[in-house]
Amino acid sequence: MPEAAPLPDSSTEVARAVRALLPGLRRIGSLTAVLIAVLAVAAGVLGVWGISLLMAGTDAQIPILGAAVCGGLIYWAHLGMIRRQEGMVMPVLASTVGLTYSKDAKAFIAGLPQRLLPKRGIRSGEDYVYGILGTHTIRMAEVKVETGGKNSRTLFQGLVAQFPNQVAMPAFFIALEDKTRPGMFFGGDLSTEGLFHLRDVLTDGRRYGIWTSWSSVDEPPALAAVIDVLTHIETHVGPGAQLYAATSNGEETHIALTHGRNLFRVGGMFIDENDLFRDVRGALQDLTVPLTLAQTLISAEAAAVQKGA
């Protein structure tokens, strides 16, 4: 991964802009703290009432349900606070690297290729970031795919990015081999229907399958270079992310990277200046991942074409 973004000091424009947001961030945190305290007291009172009713042999369904509702509201109040705080800070940080930020990622997710992510799941996302790198538009968002229902499982969680192909190439699909392998009752999480298996790549104990839309021509140098970059992605963006799948229609590439934590996390209930700038440094670091990957892919394509010329 690129070197950690430097902690902004008081003389930088971004530091002044972020510091100006601090009173508003604290106000949101304080209001949320009051709301959560009220809900916690209400949940406690309802819980004690419910216990007393149970001990008396009386139906305690209403107070127990009320306590559960209060617990749920506490969770949503905290989540809403973080979303509002991130919505204040992230546009400022994204602009420092030439990108635009939006909390809503619905339109981006709706346009993703179907085969990129598990087909049996509910897709959701946030933190949509987009901008121009040279002459190419780059888009990315944090995406989650869950089975849904009472015992919902997470099938994918990470970063999905869209890049243009600088060099025309055949359509291709790269995915973890075990995600495309059919199960006992269903097909694999990812579909390879209509594609031809080209080869496998083994890296750091993970096996990736490479599929293409063609079967009778040699592998183009540009495609070989892109495959090498994607299957060794940690070399370029660091160990925090791993390739889940990538697909291209020959003109643009979509890449799904698994990530073990929530990206672009900024804010807190009792945030101070030190906490804020720590979060800012982490968020700026997260923003460098797709930019570094895009630059690496574009360079790999160009170098491969020049070599093959």
- Within 8 A by CB and 6+ apart from 283, the residues are 89, 90, 93, 263, 264, 265, 266
User: Which residue is it, tokens 């950690």?
Assistant: 4
Kindly state the average pLDDT of the residues 11-26. Answer: 83
**82 and 267 Cβ atoms separated by less than 8 Å:** yes
Render pLDDT for 180-228 as a digit per residue (tens, 0 to 9). Answer: 876 544 446 788 888 888 888 888 788 898 888 776 666 776 677 778 8
Which three-class secondary structure state does DSSP give residue 203? strand
Q: Is the pLDDT of residue 8 over 50?
A: no
Q: Is the pLDDT of residue 38 over 90?
A: yes
Which three-class secondary structure state does DSSP give residue 88? helix
Render pLDDT for 247-262 as a digit per residue (tens, 0 to 9). Answer: 988 788 898 988 766 7
Centre a 10 Å sphere on the Cβ of residue 152 and count the other Cβ atoms it contains: 11
Q: Is the pLDDT of residue 58 over 80?
A: yes
Sheet holding 172-176, edge to edge: 99-104, 122-133, 136-146, 154-164, 252-259, 241-248, 172-176, 206-212, 196-203
| Predicted local confidence at residue 249, as pLDDT | 85
| Predicted local confidence at residue 81, as pLDDT | 92
| Predicted local confidence at residue 188, as pLDDT | 62
Interatomic CA distance for residues 183 and 152, integer angstroms: 19
In the chain, DSSP assigns E strands to 99-104, 122-133, 136-146, 154-164, 172-176, 196-203, 206-212, 241-248, 252-259
Kindly state the average pLDDT of the residues 271-300. Answer: 80
Torsion angle defined by CA atoms of residues 280, 285, 291 and 294, in that order, rounded to the nearest 10 degrees? -150
Q: Quote the radius of gyration of the chain (alpha carbons, Å).
A: 24
Query: Pairing between strand 99-104 and 122-133?
Result: antiparallel
HEC string of 219-251? CCHHHHHHHHHHHCCHHHHCCCEEEEEEEECCC
pLDDT band at 307 (very low <50, low <70, confident <90, very high): low
Angle 61-96/273-308 helices, nearest 10 degrees?
60
Render pLDDT for 157-169 as a digit per residue (tens, 0 to 9). Answer: 888 988 887 776 7
Of 9-13, 69-73, 300-304, minimum mean pLDDT range: 9-13
Angle 13-55/273-308 helices, nearest 10 degrees?
120
Domain ranges of the chain: 98-308
Q: Is the pLDDT of residue 72 over 90?
A: yes
User: Which residue is it, tokens 């902004």?
Assistant: 8
Which three-class secondary structure state does DSSP give residue 7? coil
